[in-house]
Amino acid sequence: MDYELSELVQDFLNFRNFDFQSNVTVIGKNDRELSFSYLVDGSRDNRTDFSGKIGVVVKDWSRSCGYNVIIEAERLQENAPNLSKIMVVANQFSGTARELADKLGILTLTKGELISIREIYKNETSAFDP
């Protein structure tokens, strides 16, 4: 089955009981507008250890996301008020992008990982029916 990346992200956020908004623009430092695919505000799920606000950037590209995307995400994190984390979701990442993200504390998820997570959740409970 072919899933849309944004659908997988929303399913993940919904299942983990994250409160989130789609297509959010916030005013950052120096009055610059910063755009996020999703702005997540913690979770009501006790199995999730995320707290605070998480800015999610979805890159639904046919090619790998490189380290430049991670550098862009780091700038978002530095300039966005009250964000505790940035998460970048893409179809795939280059090896150098993943290494840099780990070093900078930026969360990354691929479409394949989201599909795997979806299957695990689906087996855990019937609450994750698409």
Residues in the chain: 130
Residue 102 lies in a domain: yes
Residue type, 61: W
Residue 40 lies in a domain: yes
pTM of the model: 0.85
Q: How many helices (H) and strands (E) does the chain have?
A: 4, 5
pLDDT of residue 51: 66
Indicate the DSSP class of residue 128. Answer: G
Residue 88 lies in a domain: yes
Mean pLDDT of 42-57: 72
Q: CATH number, domain at 39?
A: 3.40.1350.10
Residue 129 lies in a domain: no
Structure tokens at 114: 């989201």
Q: For residue 72, give its domain range.
A: 5-121
SS3 41: strand
- Residues 56-112: tens digit of each pLDDT: 999 999 899 999 999 999 999 999 878 888 999 999 999 999 999 999 999 999 999
Residue 127 lies in a domain: no
Q: Look at residue 30 and tell me whether its pLDDT is greater than 60.
A: yes
Q: What is the mean pLDDT of the chain?
A: 85
Q: How many domains does the chain have?
A: 1
Residue 128 lies in a domain: no
